[in-house]
Structure 1
Amino acid sequence: MKFKTVLNAAIGFSLLVAVWQLIIVIGDYDEALFPPPLKVWEGIVSLILDGTLFTHIQVSLYRFLAGYLSAVLAAVLLGLILGRLPILWNVLDPVAQIIRPVSPIAWSPFIVLWFGIGDIPAIVIIFIAAFFPVLLSTVSAVRKVDKNYLKVAQNLEIKDFQLLTKIIFPAAFPYIANGLHIAVGTAWIFLVAGEMVGAQSGLGYLIIDARNSMRLDLVMAGIVFIGISGLLLDKAVGVFEAWINRLWGVRNN
């Protein structure tokens, strides 16, 4: 099964590269304006050899992990509590639904004024991007927990903290995991967008700097690594999800 998955991915990427090259040949585009795959590959190799790529990836990953993990921790804890307090959640839900669609980039003027420049603004943007998907999925998951579990816990006189950590959280985790996957994508997108706005390092800055130098081959190389990094981060969440499910004896469908 894994070999077939790898083979299908290889075929898909090969077709993508072939179509990419075909468009350039048919359209007779200038390499400086629409770099071909070989030119982009040379740009990737140059970024790897001079260490530039790893420097920017390291910075972006630090910002992402700081913002994403703090958002997940805060959103899960708050979601577990609000999911058990339906009256309070009914009051806060309209507020969350109004704030949630606002792009984190829209908050950037305030974020820069409040936190200055550097890593913190990007981390805050990632926090906002990841917080609401995880919060909403956690609240929804808690409210969907089988009532029979709660009745058994009540009969066994299980206290509130143990009820949350031993019963509600494990039962809700498969649904919470959906929010974790969504949050990875949104947080990574807005990290790159935030780095394009005011950062002096990171993958987003790499693309803007290459654009200013009219090195579109490096722009495309940056886009490739943004996509690959996002895929690997999502796979990492999947590995964590599978580990938690094995730990609790939950079977994946």
Structure 2
Amino acid sequence: MLIGFGALLIVWQLASILSGHNQALFPPPLLVGEALLEMIRSGSIFTHIQISFLRFFSGYLAAVILAIVLGLIVGQLPAIWRVLDPIVQVLRPVSPIAWSPFIVLWFGIGNMPAIVIIFIAAFFPVLLSTVSAVKKVDAMYLRIAANFEMTHTERMWKIIFPAAFPMIANGLHMAIGSAWIFLVAGEMIGAQSGLGFLIVDARNALSLDIVMACIIIIGILGLLLDQAIRLFEGWVARIWGGQAAIK
């Protein structure tokens, strides 16, 4: 990993030198590093990161909870899913940013537009993975539930959910990447704080070293989120993988 980052810095520095652009237009690594250190020293960057994380997890967790509950229900009702599936397939490819004019009109400015955009970005991957996971639950598990005369609620939470969750976790992984990407775009719409706002504010001031520093921070935080969800997937595989669902 360190070798890869080192090679990237070298290529970046060479590109900055050979491009012939003014450093203000194509800031080299050293200039960006100075801007990053200044934001860290002032503490301003931590405030923006905290606000961005608050918006991110508000939208992401709301999407995950609703998508999993809805997916567990409709995944067991094929007739209803046949009606909903075409609607989902039409809405899913639409970029959350395409909804931004309506989102701003309906929710105003501030935190809500970013949260709603993150919600939309995370909702569909989790919903589709949950429905698919429920459909693939081994019929043997359901027969065991019937033999023990479990109620619908008991069957849902003791059999179907644990059996499906390893596959649902893959949807959570895809959703967290998608939601993090659209966090920045969401914060560029009507927000007055956060990493996305900081990029727009620095761009308007032609402080491209700060823009690049923010891009690096977003990338690093995205990498940390990706690693965290990978650890979570590993934990899920250990707890609920294999035959765990029938215990």
Instruction: Give TM class, smaller chain.
Output: over 0.9
Q: Percent identity?
A: 64
How far apart are the structure 2 equivalents of 1:58 and 1:238? 22
1:48 maps to a residue whose letter is I
- Superposed CA offset, 1:43-99 (max 9, x none): 110110111110110010000000000100000010001110011001100001111
After superposition, the Cα gap between the structure-2 partners of 1:184 and 1:243, relative to the gap in structure 1 and judged at 3 Å, is: same
Whole-angstrom distance in 2 between the partners of 1:247 and 1:146? 18
Residue 26 of structure 1, CA deviation:
2.1
2:117 alignment partner in structure 1: 125
- Segments of 5+ residues of structure 1 without an aligned counterpart are 1-8
Within 5 Å, which residues of 2 pair with 1:154-165?
A: 154-165=146-157
**Could you give the per-residue CA deviations for residues 88-146 of structure 1, whole angstroms, max 9, x where no partner exists?**
00110000111111111111111111111111111111111100000000000110111
Pick one of 3, 15, 30 that aligns with 1:23.
15
Secondary structure, counterpart of 2:21 in structure 1? coil
Cα distance in 1 for partners of 2:159, 2:81 equals 21
- Which residue identity lines up with residue 239 of structure 1 in the other structure? L
Secondary structure of the 2:93 match is coil
**1:197 aligned to 189, 202, 213, which one?**
189
1:53 alignment partner in structure 2? 45
Q: Deviations over 1:23-53 (max 9, x none)?
A: 1222233111111111111111011011111
Contact 2:199 2:214 in 1 (8 A): yes
**Aligned partners of 2:114 and 2:189 also within 8 Å:** no
CA contact 2:117–2:182 (8 Å) conserved in 1: yes
Contact 2:71 2:128 in 1 (8 A): yes
Q: 1:203, 1:177 → 2: CA distance?
A: 27
- Quote the offset at 1:250 in angstroms: 5.0
Measure, in 1, the Cα distance between the counterparts of 2:27 and 2:6.
17
Which residue among 134, 137, 149 is the counterpart of 2:129? 137
- Any gaps of 5 or more consecutive residues in structure 2? none
CA RMSD of aligned residues (A): 1.3
Q: Partner letter of residue 147 of structure 2?
A: N
Query: What TM-score results when the alignment is normalised by the length of structure 1?
Result: 0.92
**Structure 2 length normalisation: TM-score?**
0.95
